[in-house]
Amino acid sequence: MDLKQLATNIVMQKMGGNADQETAGAALDGLVSGNSSFDLGQIVNQFSGAGGNIAKKAQSWLADGDNDSISAQQVEAALGSDKVAEFADKLGIGREAASDSLSEILPKLIDKSSSGGKLLGSMQGSGGLAGLASKFLK
């Protein structure tokens, strides 16, 4: 299982099973500008590039220690309301519900995929993706 597949499974769980794997994966792919595949590094760059308080929140998810929460509005500011609306449309949910879900999913996914301020190159050191999934769902 790769990181995109894990993220897809998490989105499917969060959405209550309203989307199949292909639909959830396509929705995630649409969050990344100019890229045809979900890339957590690109997502981090979008949050970091948003500047100010949003960038500080993204750094807290990468760093070891407590993580700052992010609002649905800040998610839209970082990713773009058009990308969030596209994500919502693909999943058949409202934009507000999509923003709320992403404000919960993405910080946890980034946090559990990073250490010492950087995304992990390989999930092997943290117990693999199965270990990541169990940490995420706690």
Whichever domain contains 14, its CATH number is: 1.10.10.690
Quote the number of domains for the chain.
1
Contact 100, 72 (CB under 8 A): yes
What's the DSSP call for residue 118?
E
Which residues are 115's β-sheet partners? 118
Q: Please state, in angstroms and rounded to a whole number, the distance separating the CA atoms of residues 138 and 127.
A: 15
Q: Please state, in angstroms and rounded to a whole number, the distance separating the CA atoms of residues 58 and 51.
A: 10
In tens, the pLDDT along 27-74 reads: 999 888 665 678 889 999 999 999 889 999 999 999 999 999 999 999
Q: Please state, in angstroms and rounded to a whole number, the distance separating the CA atoms of residues 1 and 87.
A: 22
The segment with the largest mean pLDDT, out of 10-14, 107-111, 123-127, is 107-111
CA atoms within 13 A on the CB side of 69: 6
Contact 6, 133 (CB under 8 A): yes
In tens, the pLDDT along 97-118 reads: 999 999 999 998 999 899 998 9
pTM of the predicted protein model: 0.81
- Residue count of the chain, please give it: 138
29, 48, 132 from 84: Cα distances, Å: 11, 17, 25
Which residues are 114's β-sheet partners? 119
Residue 103's domain comprises 3-136
